[in-house]
């Protein structure tokens, strides 16, 4: 709960479906080394240690979905975004761990 409202949480399948339909802007808040090891294609890297909600580009009507390793940091980032006035936002429950457990595609940059 944040300001009396639950944080919107999407499953990896919901996020994947939204990406395929062009309805999601995906933001990775893990650190650079984590992102280099494995990431979800077409995600924007904004590490939580440097995170500023104003760095998120215009989503042009898309739902902004934030993810991390397990869902903890992404929930924190969503709270920061809500504080900054961003409303069309959610996080991916379970993070990239849940994504990979569902055998959804991951990109390795190494």
With beta carbons less than 8 A apart as the criterion, state whether 33 and 16 touch: no
Would 107 be classed as within a structural domain?
no
Would 39 be classed as within a structural domain?
yes
C-alpha dist (Å) from residue 53 to 7, 16, 38, 48: 16, 23, 23, 10
Would 97 be classed as within a structural domain?
yes
Instruction: Tell me the whole-structure pTM to 2 decimals.
Output: 0.92
Segment 10-25 mean pLDDT: 97
Distance CA 79, CA 67 (A): 13
CATH of the domain at 72: 3.40.250.10
Q: Active-site residue 68, yes or no?
A: yes
Evaluate the CA torsion angle 78, 79, 84, 85 in order and state its sign: positive
Would 20 be classed as within a structural domain?
yes
C-alpha dist (Å) from residue 39 to 6, 11, 35: 27, 16, 5
Would 86 be classed as within a structural domain?
yes
Domain that holds residue 19: 9-101
pLDDT tens digits, residue range 36-70? 999 998 899 999 999 999 999 998 899 999 999 99
Number of domains in the chain: 1
Q: What is the pLDDT at residue 5?
A: 63
Would 1 be classed as within a structural domain?
no
Given a cut of 90, whether residue 6 has pLDDT beyond it is no
Would 23 be classed as within a structural domain?
yes
State the pLDDT confidence band at 1, using cuts at 50, 70 and 90. very low
pLDDT tens digits, residue range 31-42? 999 999 999 988
pLDDT tens digits, residue range 70-92? 999 999 999 999 999 998 999 99
Would 94 be classed as within a structural domain?
yes
Catalytic residue among 39, 42, 68, 81: 68
């Amino acid at each position: 709960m944040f300001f009396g409202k639950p944080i919107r949480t999407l499953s990896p399948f919901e996020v994947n479906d939204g990406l395929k339909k062009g309805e999601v802007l995906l933001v990775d808040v893990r650190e650079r080394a984590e992102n280099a090891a494995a990431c979800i294609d077409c995600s924007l890297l904004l590490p939580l240690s440097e995170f500023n909600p104003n760095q998120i580009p215009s989503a042009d009507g898309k739902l902004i979905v934030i993810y991390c390793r397990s869902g903890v940091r992404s929930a924190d980032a969503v709270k920061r975004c809500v504080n900054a006035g961003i409303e069309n936002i959610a996080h991916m429950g379970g993070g990239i761990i849940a994504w990979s457990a569902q055998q959804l595609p991951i990109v390795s940059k190494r």
